[in-house]
Amino acid sequence: MSTTTTTTTSAAAAPPPAAGAPGVRRRTRRSLSPGKRLPAAGLIGPLAVLALWAAASAAGRLDPGAIPAPWTVLRTAGHLWTEGTLATDVATSLRRAAYGFAIGLTAGVVLALASGLSRVGEALIDGTVQLNRAIPTLGLIPLFILWLGIGETFKIAIIAIVVYIPVYLNTHAALSGIDSRFVELAEVQGLSRLAFVRRIVVPGALPGFFVGLRLGVTGSWLGLVVLEQINATSGLGYMMFQATNYGQSDVILVGLLIYGVFGLVSDSAVRLVERRVLSWRRTLNS
């Protein structure tokens, strides 16, 4: 359906300027807004850095042992992909992050709903999570290794905890911070409890949920990097750690680049979903 927005109130046109005020020249005031966005603004900075890096490498101003040239890194990446274990390492890392993220996200949302929508749930859950939050999750690593061994389960568990906390906190805050005026409205309109939750509480909490989701995504990569670099025998972090022992800075850079791509792609995906779901938030000027 096409939306034709016709303004119903026809604005009474302002009187034509100036006729009665000779000598008063109207000038537009200086605009204080930074003006229009440059096209592809997000890419300009990174591309400039890349160009600088390439130029410095070509001019021989960088120690190739510390910072290899961009093309060296690319060549190494291709080499590792076709002849080495890069593909399996990437898959292993992705699987860890994905499982941990999915479990953490589900747990965060379910707990937030249980605690945000019922007083009993809140009494049971909220204090517990707040306590959990006080302990830095990465500090749990030794204990979890004891409990779960050093395999995949332990890594996924740690990532899930890193993810669930911001998801829970932000979603719960949004659920319980529902505007009391809307509660009153729901009562006036005779909404059932279920309809109240579905039409008012949940949609009203979505912006908060997305804040938590973005933090959770970032957290899952952070957790992954830390876990893979201290206790892993496969995965990207392990590859990088090994490279340190052999002084292969190009391999380390390949790993970092891939982490960067992971982060960028996942963050863009979340932003895209957020823009879709929260389309009502788009203001008139965007």
The smaller minimum CB distance to other proteins, of residues 53 and 182, is found at 182
The smaller minimum CB distance to other proteins, of residues 28 and 285, is found at 285
The smaller minimum CB distance to other proteins, of residues 1 and 32, is found at 1
- Choose among 108, 208, 89, 210: nearest CA to 159: 108
The smaller minimum CB distance to other proteins, of residues 84 and 207, is found at 207
Taking the complex as a whole, the smallest distance from the CB of residue 180 to other proteins amounts, in Å, to 11
Taking the complex as a whole, the smallest distance from the CB of residue 279 to other proteins amounts, in Å, to 8
Taking the complex as a whole, the smallest distance from the CB of residue 202 to other proteins amounts, in Å, to 10
The smaller minimum CB distance to other proteins, of residues 127 and 281, is found at 281
Taking the complex as a whole, the smallest distance from the CB of residue 266 to other proteins amounts, in Å, to 25
Taking the complex as a whole, the smallest distance from the CB of residue 222 to other proteins amounts, in Å, to 31
- Extract the tokens encoding 204: 């009203």
- Choose among 158, 153, 144, 143: nearest CA to 219: 158
Report the amino acid identity of residue 123. Answer: A
- Extract the tokens encoding 272: 């895209």
Taking the complex as a whole, the smallest distance from the CB of residue 176 to other proteins amounts, in Å, to 18
Give long-range contacts, CB 8 A cutoff, 24+ apart: 139-145: 141/227, 141/230, 141/231, 145/231
Taking the complex as a whole, the smallest distance from the CB of residue 95 to other proteins amounts, in Å, to 35
Taking the complex as a whole, the smallest distance from the CB of residue 211 to other proteins amounts, in Å, to 16
Q: Tokens 């963050």, residue?
A: 267
**Site of interaction with other proteins (CB under 8 A):** 1, 3-6, 8-9, 181-182, 184-191, 195, 199-200, 203-204, 206, 278, 280-281, 283-284
- Choose among 37, 27, 17: nearest CA to 286: 37
- Choose among 152, 150, 165, 170: nearest CA to 97: 152
The smaller minimum CB distance to other proteins, of residues 17 and 190, is found at 190
The smaller minimum CB distance to other proteins, of residues 2 and 28, is found at 2
The smaller minimum CB distance to other proteins, of residues 7 and 31, is found at 7
